Structure 1
Amino acid sequence: MNEISEVGGMKVRVARIAEVPALLAFWARSAEGISITDDADGVSRLLVRDPEALLVAERDGVIVGTVIAGYDGWRCHLYRLAVAPDHRRRGVGAALLDAAHERFVSLGGRRADAMVLDHNELAHHAWRAAGYHAEEQWSRWVRPLGDGASSAG
């Protein structure tokens, strides 16, 4: 599964490992916030483990959006929905989410969740428009792994 869809001159397709540097540069320009896995090694591991998880929207060969549609066999998780600032509000995010939802359904997923920064109001609008809602009773708890991480107790 390489090209997933094409609408109005925009293609949604699976990312390629050779694009990792371009994807990192795109996120640096277009995404809100950073993650400890926003490095070539982390993104490459994702693509090796699940080659169809990272979806890319492109126009005229230029990346204009991304989303990571991760599925662990039980839950469907969305990360790194990012759209180039000059392509926002033109259906890029919606096309990426449609492709992610189709991926999840084909894998047997039943519900998707998304990591969205609390202060990113622009993203809140996009997620609501796609049918998502915040679940205020949940908080994200994190723990870095590897160097510098300590065990509790």
Structure 2
Amino acid sequence: MTADIALRTATPDEIPALLALWARAAKGTSITDDADGVAALLARDPECLIVATPAGDPAALVGTVIAGWDGWRCHLYRLAVDPRYRRRGIGSALLAAAEARFTALGGRRADAMVLDDNAEGQRTWRTAGYGPQPQWTRWAKPLTA
């Protein structure tokens, strides 16, 4: 990773900045991409959302990954790097930090959600050693209150 970037966990007061970063850097949205969804995530697992910041400006968010561990599986979401900071190894550093977190928690395999029409994202994940599992299809159902 480039020496001018620092990694740390996100804090609840950064939720607006996280949402803004995802709006400009991530492809696609989810029904949980809102302040309440991110607040619930951080309340449940305060160390799951890893952010990258410029070393001299720890308040400026330039990258994220959610490294969710449910005790059974290791799930990766929202790997996003600000377009102005891409091609500097930030995404790789975020993934390495997420994988280290999983290993420390006892995880044995990580999976990532990658949109079918996100060619750039697919290249990033393949470069990191991830690949699709053709025998599985994700089934989803939005839950209502």
| TM-score (structure 1 length as normaliser) | 0.90
Task: Kindly provide the CA deviation profile for residues 110-148 of structure 1, in whole angstroms up to 9, marking residues without a partner as x.
Answer: 00000000111111111111111111121111101014x
Are positions 1:45 and 2:40 aligned together? Answer: yes
Name the Cα RMSD after superposition: 1.1
Aligned partners of 1:138, 1:86: CA distance in 2, in Å? 35
Name the structure 1 match of 2:120.
122
The code of the aligned residue for 2:102 comes to: F
Q: For the Cα contact (< 8 Å) 2:2–2:88, is it kept in 1? A: no
| TM-score (structure 2 length as normaliser) | 0.95
Aligned partners of 1:146, 1:56: CA distance in 2, in Å? 30
5 Å matches for 1:33-112?
A: 33-59=28-54, 60-61=57-58, 62-112=60-110
The code of the aligned residue for 1:44 comes to: A
Give the stretch that moved more between structures: 110-119 or 133-142.
133-142
Aligned partners of 2:16, 2:137: CA distance in 1, in Å? 31
Name the structure 2 match of 1:3.
none
After superposing on structure 2, the runs of 4+ consecutive aligned residues of structure 1 that deviate more than 3 Å are: none
Q: Does the residue aligned with 2:78 lie in a helix, a strand or coil?
A: strand
Paired-residue identity, %: 62
Larger RCO: Structure 1 or Structure 2 (Cα < 8 Å, ≥ 6 residues apart)? 2
| Greater fraction strand | 1
Q: For the Cα contact (< 8 Å) 2:9–2:50, is it kept in 1? A: yes
5 Å matches for 1:130-149?
A: 130-147=128-145
Q: For the Cα contact (< 8 Å) 2:69–2:75, is it kept in 1? A: yes
Q: CA deviation at 1:7?
A: 4.7
Q: Does the residue aligned with 1:63 lie in a helix, a strand or coil?
A: coil
Aligned partners of 2:134, 2:85: CA distance in 1, in Å? 30
Within the candidate set 19, 37, 40, 1:24 is matched to 19
Q: How many aligned residue pairs are there? A: 142
Aligned partners of 2:85, 2:128: CA distance in 1, in Å? 17
Structure whose alpha-carbon radius of gyration is higher = 1
Aligned partners of 2:104, 2:2: CA distance in 1, in Å? 21
Aligned partners of 1:57, 1:140: CA distance in 2, in Å? 29
Aligned partners of 1:110, 1:137: CA distance in 2, in Å? 19
The code of the aligned residue for 2:123 comes to: H
